[in-house]
Structure 1
Amino acid sequence: MGSGHYFWAIFYFASLCSASLANNAKINFREKEKKVLDQILGAGKYDARIRPSGINGTANLATMVKVNMFLRSISKIDDYKMEYSVQLTFREQWTDERLKFDDIQGRLKYLTLTEANRVWMPDLFFSNEKEGHFHNIIMPNVYIRIFPNGSVLYSIRISLTLACPMNLKLYPLDRQICSLRMASYGWTTNDLVFLWKEGDPVQVVKNLHLPRFTLEKFLTDYCNSKTNTGEYSCLKVDLLFKREFSYYLIQIYIPCCMLVIVSWVSFWLDQGAVPARVSLGVTTLLTMATQTSGINASLPPVSYTKAIDVWTGVCLTFVFGALLEFALVNYASRSDMHKENMKKKRRDLEQASLDAASDLLDTDSNATFAMKPLVRHPGDPMALEKRLQCEVHMQAPKRPNCCKTWLSKFPTRSKRIDVISRITFPLVFALFNLVYWSTYLFREEEDETF
């Protein structure tokens, strides 16, 4: 038992010694990091105001800065303000020969800084930025790594609101290209050049979710700009967003179709139901107008016609046409009634004149005056001529007219207008749908120039 106690005591003492040596080694290693930082960034040894030398230490060549980024999220795409918000991890990498140090036989992989003002930094800015801010919770989300060969890696997390000029001619069947542009503010291409990192310069989070859009693809490119003060290096990322149509189909297109169909119900109501037909027409018209104004309130006032404007305008026209159709039916109904009254009065007058003539013949049977007969005898030449014309007319072949035969079932003009409207309005609306969807869906594929 004694030997066992001695063994565990020796083992415990050895472990304490090894832990102490490891801690001392870590402390010494951190002290060496501090010494290296003091050596390369000490007072009078490094000036952050001076641009690093070019390739192979050549002072007259531009400093090459490689850029890459990681898109963490895209929070919103605003159609009215024509902007979008994005959160990203932005990285820059360049070589500064003045920051080379001894890596202590590979044990010191890199040095880490959190203060960007201690080393020279490229003067990059986002040219289409509207608003932006850094993230400082819990600590500033930024670091600088200095590698033994003098390579510097700068990484920071930022949130930006960027301008995105949009073409809304095909809205809501459109695709939008939103760019993220980065350029040098003061250094020209003779001094500073931005390059995309080889391989995969832009990465996007896998579970990226947008409420009304889908990120189809993205493309990196260069966009150097020339001004009066020189040429400046510029990088850009083009993001292609496709608008999700299902939302607009449920919220706009189907309700508008339902309102148009409801307005056709008045064609099946009785002509005398004036309050019902007027109320139905006015209600659907006001509802359609409210729907149109609500759609336009969420979009900017542009100078061209959008696809949604064509749809709502035609639907509003159909609803208004149904209301005008009732006005025409009402006018035709009153006209038919007036004609019927005139015919009745004419028949009454003819009957009265016949009655008066018969009374006169009965009272004055001895009168000797020639009276023109009402019905001509068969030998009368006028009657023979009319008979021949009727026979010729009956012998002429007649072409059957289905429409006239069908419309003859409805004696009044007002009823005929209602019946024709029941067929014409749905057919014209179906034809409009065919032209509308074929046109804009085909144009959507043609206008994709990405």
Structure 2
Amino acid sequence: METSRPSCAMFLLLAFFLAIFAQGLQAKINFREKEKQILDQILGPGRYDARIRPSGINGTDDAPTLVRVNLFLRSISKIDDYKMEYSVQLTFREQWLDERLKFNNQGGRLKYLTLTEANRVWMPDLFFSNEKEGHFHNIIMPNVYIRIFPNGNVLYSIRISLTLSCPMNLKLYPLDKQTCSLRMASYGWTTDDLVFLWKEGDPVQVVKNLHLPRFTLEKFLTDYCNSKTNTGEYSCLKVDLLFKREFSYYLIQIYIPCCMLVIVSWVSFWLDQGAVPARVSLGVTTLLTMATQSSGINASLPPVSYTKAIDVWTGVCLTFVFGALLEFALVNYASRSDMHRENMKKSRREMEAAASLDAASDLLDTDSNATFAMKPLMRGGVMDSKMRQCEIHLNPPRKNCCLLWMSKFPTRSKRIDVISRITFPLVFALFNLAYWSTYLFRDEDEEK
């Protein structure tokens, strides 16, 4: 008898907990059933018409329906310079008041009702005006929901991916900043019936650690862009995304290789004038490499009618390389002229030597009287020449330091090489100073 009493007590306790659990389960079932009844009550046939827009402020039909919008930028996958477009994935949210959807919250237990079918309620006819392509996300289920609150507020949220057009000004490429817009407008309802507003507080959120391959998102601005057409005025919202191009990639891939090619082309100034194959092959190779580099850069950019910053750089570098090749042609021509002049001087000296020998033989054949008569004249000529030499030594002509230094190189071809060794690097350094000071230290107003 004593052992049966504890077992009976345990059985009664277990039965009590099962009864409480069953009661709670029944209450939940009844609560879900109550949700179904509320949905049937507010959205049932003949009770709600999704074709009619909600009333405006204070329930007046004359006032427009106010729809508040906010965005969450999940990712920006790419910014295409050639097609002038960018791709973005975002969570788009709209919120408005529809007093026809009010319901009893069951004493605060029912916070909101959730729907996954957007066609059950009235929806704003918003569209993205600068969209090229777009799609919804349906894995595993459609990424969309509608929440209906007891006071009639409706929250619509959906995840979408868009490819949007972004007209770009590439005059400062690759030292530029680009502003890409995201525009949202009403397609059929005018501002008399529907007005879009940004949600107060923080209308646009951006995911943390947003990474772009060649750009940095500096800031974003929200604004309104209402448009007027022949059919009326339509409400419009826009987000301006300001992107700054990362310059380190272009410095390593474009600017430094171009500088190296220009410097390599100057090696020909230090080669011997007679090394024609080496100097020609070096000049042609650097010229073709620079041309290939320039064409590769332009292949990734759209054909625009204005000159870009990268065009100025590649054009000047190509000019320097081409100038080094022309310098060798000038040196070669000057070398042949020097050789021809040297041959002319040599032949002239030979002719003068032959003439002096003939004159000496003629003097030996003359009589002694004539020779004696000529001696005072010859003595006077010798004295005059010595006097002139003394005057030259006493008053030597002053030479410029540059001319004195250039006199160390007797041939014109050698002088051209020496001048080029100094002139080309100096002019290229001045160009770099002007280029970087122009494009790096520019005003914000000039960029626009």
* Same topology, TM > 0.5: yes
Q: Residue 27 of structure 1: which of 23, 26, 29 is its match?
A: 29
- Report the residue type matching 1:355 in the other structure: L
Partner of 1:158: 160
Cα distance in structure 2, aligned partners of 1:373 and 1:164: 100
CA distance in 1 between counterparts of 2:89 and 2:125 reads 20
SS in 1 for 2:196: strand
1:117-137 CA distance string (max 9 Å, x none): 111100000000011011111
Matches within 5 A, 1:26-175: 26-175=28-177
- 2:219 is matched with 217
Q: Report what 1:406 is aligned to.
A: 405
Pick from 322, 329, 338: which aligns with 1:336? 338
How far did 1:377 drift?
3.6
Report the TM-score when normalising by structure 2.
Answer: 0.94
Segment of structure 1 superposing worse, 43-52 or 399-408? 399-408
What stretches of structure 2 of length at least 5 have no aligned partner?
none
Deviations 1:341-365 (A, max 9, x none): 0000001111122223334444x44
Say if 1:170 and 1:444, in contact at 8 Å, map to a contact too: no
Residue in structure 2 matched with residue 239 of structure 1 by the alignment: 241
CA distance in 1, matches of 2:376, 2:220: 95
- Structure 2 distance, partners of 1:375, 1:158, is 116
Shift of 1:392: 6.5
Deviates more, 1:14-23 or 1:406-415: 14-23
Equivalent runs, 1:45-444 vs 2, <5 Å? 45-362=47-364, 364-366=365-367, 377=378, 379=380, 384=384, 398-443=397-442
Q: Which residue of 2 aligns with 1:5?
A: 7
Deviation at 1:369, TM superposition (A): 7.8
Question: 2:337, 2:238 → 1: CA distance?
Answer: 71
Q: Which amino acid aligns with 1:422?
A: R
Moved more, 29-38 or 365-374: 365-374
Summarize the Cα distance change of 1:365–1:68 in structure 2 as closer, same or farther, 3 Å threshold: same
Deviation at 1:4, TM superposition (A): 4.0
8 Å CA contact 1:333, 1:413 repeated in 2 = yes
Tell me the C-alpha RMSD between the 2 structures: 2.3
The one-letter code matched in structure 2 to 1:411 is: P
Deviation at 1:328, TM superposition (A): 0.6
The number of equivalent residue pairs is 446
2: CA distance between counterparts of 1:326 and 1:374?
56
Residue 250 of structure 1, CA deviation: 0.3
Q: Distance in 2 between matches of 1:383 and 1:168?
A: 80
CA distance in 2 between counterparts of 1:292 and 1:348 reads 56
Q: Is the 8 A contact 1:376 1:383 kept in 2?
A: no
TM-superposed deviation, 1:139: 0.7
Preserved CA contact (<8 Å) 1:174 1:444: no
Give the C-alpha shift of residue 375 in structure 1. 11
When residues 368 and 374 of structure 1 are mapped into structure 2, their CA distance, relative to the original with a 3 A threshold, is closer
Q: For 2:301, give the aligned amino acid.
A: L
Unmatched 5+ stretches in structure 1: none
Query: Quick one: distance in 1 between partners of 2:227 and 2:306?
Result: 30
